[in-house]
Amino acid sequence: MFCFQCQETANGTGCTIAGICGKKDDLANMQDLLIYLVKGIAIVHTEARKLGIKNSNADEFIVNSLFMTITNANWDKNDFFNKVRNGLEIREEIKMMIKKTGAKLSNSSDYVNWYGESNLEFESKAASQEVSILATRDEDIRSLRELIMYGLKGLAAYLQHAAHLGYKDDSIYAFMQNTLAQITDDKATLEELIGLSMEVGKYGVHGMELLDTANTSTYGHPEVTKVNIGVRQNPGILISGHDLKDIEQLLEQTEGTGVDVYTHSEMLVANYYPAFKKYDHFVGNYGNAWWEQKREFESFNGPILMTTNCIVPPKASYKDRMYTTGATGVEGVTYIEEQEDGTKDFTVIIEHAKQCEPPIEIEKGEIVGGFAHNQVGQVAGQVVDAVKNGDIKRFFVMAGCDGRHKSRTYYKEFAEELPKDTIILTAGCAKYRYNKLDLGDINGIPRVLDAGQCNDSYSLVMTALKLKDALGLESINDLPLSYNIAWYEQKAVIVFLSLLYLGVKNIHVGPTLPAFLSPNVTNFLVENFGVGSITNTKDDLDLFMNVG
Ligand code: FSO
Ligand code: SF4
């Protein structure tokens, strides 16, 4: 195996024997094989599209497969066997459709031609060198191909949530597939791949915008909300991940059953949406970021529904209380299928909850969030006044991810050491490092403004654009705004590429730069975008506070 797609990769270079995340080499290889097949389907479907042939199964398959290979999403090797089998059928069906038109497929690579039937054949192909990331020998080409690939994986996650709510955009699917085809092309130059990675950022913005529209037109605009972090004395279900359609259905089905619902990690955002506030049994948020699952899932006592990554391989003590759905999977854990009519039946989880003890309280109190673009727009005047009269000196976008590394205490310390006349704009699970600190407010505006999930980084950009206009500035780079972003997995990569596409300069990415960025690609990002990493809180604060 070789995998270097996340921030916690072994020795900061790549996992080769087993993943730091827990991914074994056979699973890693099967994920590589699925990606290899996805590229093959993308090649044939891109050719088919030129002939006016469209196969919506291919669109769905590609999006779902990319999502399944995101860090900590799917741990079930059987899901990958099934997926590969299904993907081969789709690829062959499209080839047949092309053939019927009398046209000939111009690509004759192994991506479109390899075939296997048994799991054994799949495993042996999966372990072969040609399927590995390392098959691309040139480290700069490999770096750009993977930068693009991880951006597309992140984008796929957002597209799947949007599609779940009925929002699809064929132009994004077509772009995604054409791009996947291009990163298999040995003739693509470094310059072309750099251009392509910027295009991925452009579509990243479209994808996040699509999801924002899907979420807000279905559930209303997030609003300022105090979220309870304590517990009640009823049995509860904990729901984690990012999929709002899943929590909607869970809330509907648990109503009147005596079972409470709590969010974990990225699902916290559900508390901010008006549509979910009507449920009395929706108690609040339990716990912190994804990596604290082992402790927090144990003490929760009730069943846990994982709608997306991140899933930490579960401990035996709560594995039988875990359920997966969507792109996620864990061997031996019950998976909730979507039914023909598009709904999910959570009865088994609700009945399970009734047999469980109420959650053990691990915290008390409230956290405040819900500062997505619409809500911030409503207090924009107040914010602009505070900037003009000097009460707010600088904003810090501290969006992104949390993770296990000790070095991430930097973000807590950074938040604590920031001058009192600064505001943190956050989104994603990075916030758990500082959203429970008492950082106070400026003229009633909390010093930590949480927009929501990692995809709500889109909201932060909208906020920045609104501020830029209100302050009469030309570019968002003229704002008193710094970017100190924490990353972990591939959704953060699409957010990063989207920010670059929007022309945002001087983004600091930590706690370490991605291992998949080669020295030359890193130099390109430094020279053209001023991208940097982090050092220590004191030096970084000096740097940020003194940049005009
Ligand atoms: Fe991931 Fe990062 Fe959104 Fe977290 S990008 S790790 S669970 O912020 O949240 O999916
Ligand atoms: Fe290693 Fe991260 Fe890949 Fe897991 S996802 S195998 S930790 S690089």
Q: What pLDDT does residue 28 have?
A: 98
pLDDT digits 0-9 by tens, 434-458: 999 999 999 999 999 999 999 999 9
Model pLDDT, residue 45 = 98
Return d(Cα 119, Cα 502) in angstroms, integer. 44
Q: Measuring from atom 8 of ligand 1, which residue has the nearest CA?
A: 401
How many Å apart are CA 505 and CA 482, to the nearest integer? 9
Residue 521 has pLDDT above 90, yes or no: yes
Q: How much is the mean pLDDT over the chain?
A: 97
What CATH number belongs to 225-354?
3.40.50.2030
Query: What DSSP character marks residue 6?
Result: S
The model's pTM is: 0.98
How many Å lie between the centroid of ligand 2 and the Cα of residue 125?
Answer: 21
Contact 336, 324 (CB under 8 A): yes
429 is in an annotated binding site: yes
CA 69: distance to chain centroid?
A: 12
The reply to whether 412 sits in an annotated binding site is no
What pLDDT sits at residue 548? 45
Contacts 24+ apart (CB under 8 A), 83-86: 83/34, 84/30, 84/33, 84/34, 84/37, 84/116, 84/122, 85/122, 86/61
Question: Considering only the top CATH level, what class is 374-545?
Answer: alpha beta
pLDDT at 86: 98
- Among 1, 4, 6, name the best residue to mutate to test ligand 2's pocket (greatest count of ligand atoms within 8 A of Cβ): 6
Q: Using the predicted structure, report yes or no on whether residue 41 has a pLDDT greater than 60.
A: yes
Distance of CA 459 to the CA centre of its chain: 15
Domain with CATH 1.20.1270.20 in the chain: 10-218
Residue 3 has a CB neighbour count (10 Å cut-off) of 26
Q: Indicate where the chain has its CATH 3.40.50.2030 domain(s).
A: 225-354, 374-545
Four-way CATH pick for 10-218: 1.10.10.200, 2.60.40.420, 1.10.1060.10, 1.20.1270.20? 1.20.1270.20
The answer to whether the annotation marks 466 as part of a ligand binding site is no
- Residues 450, 426 contacting (CB under 8 angstroms): yes
Give 73-86 pLDDT, tens digit per residue.
Answer: 999 999 999 999 99
**Would you say the CB of residue 490 lies under 6 angstroms from ligand 2?**
no
- What does the alpha-carbon distance between residue 426 and residue 423 come to, in Å, rounded to a whole number? 10
Q: Is 89 annotated as a binding residue?
A: no
Q: What is the pLDDT of residue 58?
A: 98
What is the band of 546 on the pLDDT scale with cuts at 50, 70, 90? confident
Please, which pLDDT band fits residue 547 given cuts at 50, 70 and 90?
confident
Ligand nearest to the CA of 72: 2
Question: Is the distance from the beta carbon of residue 69 to the nearest atom of ligand 2 less than 6 Å?
Answer: no
What would the pLDDT profile of 159-214 be if each residue is shown by its tens digit? Answer: 999 999 999 999 999 999 999 999 999 999 999 999 999 999 999 999 999 999 99
Question: Once rounded to an integer, what is the mean pLDDT over residues 243-248?
Answer: 98
Q: Which of 429, 458, 497 to mutate to test the pocket of ligand 1 (most atoms within 8 A of CB)?
A: 429
